[in-house]
Amino acid sequence: MKTRHIIALILIIISLICLYPGLTEPVLSIKVGAKIPILGNMTLHESTQSILNTIQTLHENNNTLVAFLILFFSIIVPLIKAILLLVVLFFKNLKQRMGIHKFVYIIGKWSMADVFVVGVFLAFLATKSNESIEANIHSGFYYFLAYCLISLLAIQIINIEEAE
């Protein structure tokens, strides 16, 4: 196995290690409050959720389509992408490897994981401009961000066109 493929293998494993806490650890907490004369500051709503909690909450609140889309694009596609990258590394047939790598490259654009990270970050920044809303990014966000960046790097390191 080539050095670049060993590095890609290590990166794929690290990305999967980052994906798990990225899905299970809290990603974002939001606290909505109000200043009420005489009573002072009151908390109206407070929520801290991981990606898995968000999927479950959406499903329980009859937002099944949105829950499924987050499940599909944030969990299922990344896992399929990682498995296929591992297959690419261990297949001997160059033509099959190129086809699978091309497919991974295409679904990588549809994984939406990177879009999800940007969306969470924008939601965080948007709430910072409103004094009655407090938002905090938690470790799950950083793990998920690390997953996105490391898995993209792994795809770039695998160079299928080179002859074995």
In a domain, 162, yes or no: no
Look up residue 43 and give its two tokens: 């908390």
In a domain, 75, yes or no: yes
Number of other CB atoms surrounding residue 26 within 10 Å: 17
Which comes out higher in pLDDT, residue 103 or 25?
A: 25
Choose the weakest-confidence range: 57-66, 110-119, 141-150.
Answer: 110-119
pLDDT at 164 over 50: no
Residues across the chain: 164
In a domain, 164, yes or no: no
pLDDT at 38 over 70: yes
Model-level pTM?
Answer: 0.81
Which of 140, 137, 125, 112 is CA-nearest to residue 50?
140
In a domain, 163, yes or no: no
Total number of domains constituting the chain: 1
Which comes out higher in pLDDT, residue 113 or 44?
A: 44
Q: Stretch 46-74: mean pLDDT, rounded?
A: 88
Q: Are 108 and 74 in contact (CB under 8 A)?
A: no
In a domain, 128, yes or no: yes
Range of the domain at 70: 3-157
C-alpha count within 13 angstroms, C-beta hemisphere, residue 145: 13
In a domain, 10, yes or no: yes
Residue burial 102-115, b: 16+ Cβ < 10 Å; e: rest:
eebeeebeebbbbe
In a domain, 129, yes or no: yes
